[in-house]
Amino acid sequence: MKQNVGRTDRIARLAAAVALAILTYAGIIPENLSIVVYVVAGIIALTGIVRFCPLYKPFGISTCREKAPF
């Protein structure tokens, strides 16, 4: 699995996942949506940790910088 999530994208994903989890835990997100928000936060965090986003692949998007050939 080739990485397609760059450093800035990774940091933004992890920050968004933490923010969603905190908002849900604090009760700001309605109770009936809390499970959905926790799942979304988990998916966002997982894609940030493994540095691969399956939604980027079909569109050919990559936020990683290409490494020099030498």
Distance, in Å, from the CA atom of 25 to the CA atom of 48, rounded to the nearest integer, reads: 21
Residue 6 pLDDT greater than 80, yes or no: yes
- Averaged pLDDT for residues 50-62: 92
What's residue 69's pLDDT? 53
What's residue 54's pLDDT? 93
Distance, in Å, from the CA atom of 27 to the CA atom of 45, rounded to the nearest integer, reads: 20
What's residue 65's pLDDT? 84
Averaged pLDDT score across all residues of the chain: 91
Residue whose structure tokens are 């050939």? 69
Residue 51 pLDDT greater than 70, yes or no: yes
pTM for the model:
0.84
